[in-house]
Structure 1
Amino acid sequence: MALNTLSLKAKNGGLWIKHAWEILKIKPASFIAISIFTSSLFIAGQLHPILGLLIMFANPFITAAYYVVIEHARQGHHIRFEQFFSAIKHLPNKLTLFRLAVVSLLLSALFSIALSPILETLQQGAKPDFGQIVLVVVVSAIYMMLFAYAVPIAVFTKEKSLPEIFKGSFFACWRNVIPLTVYSIISMLLIALTIPTLMVGMIIVIPVLTISFYLSFINIFAPSLIVQQSENSDEDDSNNGNDGMFLG
């Protein structure tokens, strides 16, 4: 399926944050609990290399389940913490998520090897060449653009082709660089505001940012999601998305 995207205005970057706050207020305790649980997993992954690899591999499934819960709340349904685990169990397109996890790990390893001399130079306090800095920034940006929307594309459009998923994610970011830049600036400001609270404020900021980024996906990929919803409506009710996954 061809992935169609919208090119949005700068103000949308702020609107995603605003609407995320409105969704968070529906059931703050559940969202905060899920955020604390998922954040704890990623922190635990820093404690041991093998555990870190397992968490990195599970990341697409964890992210997808969180997005499913957000979509459930966005449609006005009641949500609970345990729905996160139910969402993982019933995720559609799991094989594609598995392939995304494998590709993500492989590319991360390749980029780490390729950029290791530059990163070592930075860690030693030496001044790197301008060209090296540009290379790090460009490679990092391309990687982020390829994977930014890969998980929700796989789950909510049911796209199975990895090249199509990566292309859709990359060009969605490319076409919306201005609102995403505005969004990133606001996100960094929100994180900075938690510093005086010894980062305690992150228990609010993390779910807001997770919800808002999912809303950016819904906004940018609206044409593709409408097509998917139309296809779903022609199927038997028992085969429609799990837990209110798709657009309502």
Structure 2
Amino acid sequence: MEIRKLKAARGWLWIRHAYQLLLRNPLLGISGALASTLAVFAVLLLPLLGPLLAIALLPIMLAGYMRLCRALEENEPADLSLLLAGFRQHTRSLITLGAMLMLGMFFISTLMVFVGGAGFASVMEQVHGAQDMQVLVEALNNADSQVALALLLGFSLLLVLVVAWQYAPILVFFSGISPWLALQASFLGTLRNIIPYTVYSLIMQLVAVVLGILPYGLGMILLLPLGLVSLYVSYRNIFPWLDEPQPAIPQGD
């Protein structure tokens, strides 16, 4: 399994190439990202099993949007029906990834409660009941060191979980590898490219600030597909599987 180690400049190129890819069909790219997100949120609002079903649906919808990105990359005829590709290919493995994500989040939250003790539970109650951000800030400032440790531990483990999960649905969908192997590859791929990822994160934060100026939330509507397509572009660069065509990189890059 080849996992490339890329230079720092790739962080910027992921965003640039994602923008170029979106320009091939901006309406489809934006509407596909919105449709995928709305589908997950709609399922999330269902009573009782909503959150569980939403987590199971998340990798399927992500795989579907990545299939749409592949169609844009290869200039295939494409429509929103591609978003359902995850229901037709490796569906069981994608649902397994959703279950792994859910178990990981449950483990992290349980560990935070165990480490933080009663003080952590008290802070969480204030957070859930707070209508004013000042109340939240004061609750965190007054928390003891045990609560601070629980928060630090929880956020650190959550970051590891996200890093291990972000490419896993794409690897499962396109390459057909097992969910566990996909999690390992995603974690190693991100870790080996921590420098371009740092560059990418800084630029995306700047882009988010600029787009945030736009009225009526238009900035977030544009930021969502750019983030998803750049995830696809970075995947294509980091994991050059032999059964896939190489990504087209503009001359001079």
TM-score by length of 2: 0.80
- Can you list the C-alpha shifts for 1:91-123, whole angstroms capped at 9, x where unaligned? 2x2222121121111111221222244485373
Matched, 1:164 2:181: yes
User: Mapping of 1:143-154 within 5 angstroms?
Assistant: 143-154=161-172
1:180 paired residue among 197, 201, 205:
197
In structure 2, distance between residues paired with 1:27 and 1:174: 32
Counterpart Cα distance in 1 of 2:107 and 2:73: 38
- 1:14 maps to what in 2? 12
User: Rg larger in 1 or in 2?
Assistant: 2
Task: State whether residues 75 and 247 of structure 1, in contact with CA within 8 Å, keep that contact through their aligned partners in structure 2.
Answer: no
Shift of 1:7: 0.7
Structure 2 distance, partners of 1:11, 1:170, is 20
RMSD: 2.2
Residue 73 of structure 1 aligns with which residue?
Answer: 72
- Contact persistence 1:42–1:52 (CA under 8 A): no
Q: 2: distance between equivalents of 1:219 and 1:189?
A: 23
Amino acid at match of 2:180: P
- Work out the number of aligned pairs and report it: 224
Q: Which has the higher contact order (CA 8 A, sep 6+)?
A: 1
Q: Which residue number corresponds to residue 114 of structure 1?
A: 111
Change (3 A) 1:119 1:219: farther
Matched, 1:155 2:173: yes
- 1:60 corresponding residue in structure 2: 59
- Write the distance in 2 (CA, Å) between the matches of 1:186 and 1:54: 33
Q: Which residue of 2 aligns with 1:38?
A: 36
Query: Please, which runs of 5 or more residues in structure 2 have no aligned partner?
Result: 128-138, 248-253
Deviation, 1:133, is: 4.3
Deviation of residue 247 (structure 1)?
5.4
Please say if residues 65 and 82 of structure 2, whose CA atoms lie closer than 8 Å, have aligned partners that are also in contact: no
Give the 3-state SS of the residue equivalent to 1:199 in structure 2. Answer: helix
Secondary structure of residue in 2 paired with 1:82: helix
Give me the whole-angstrom Cα distance separating, in 1, the residues matched to 2:42 and 2:122.
Answer: 25
Structure 1 residue 81, shift from structure 2 partner? 2.1
Report deviation, 1:191.
2.1
Instruction: Quote the Cα distance in structure 2 between the aligned partners of 1:157 and 1:106.
Output: 24
Structure 1 gap ranges (5+):
230-245
Report the CA distance shift for 1:134/1:89 in structure 2 as closer, same or farther (over 3 A).
Answer: closer
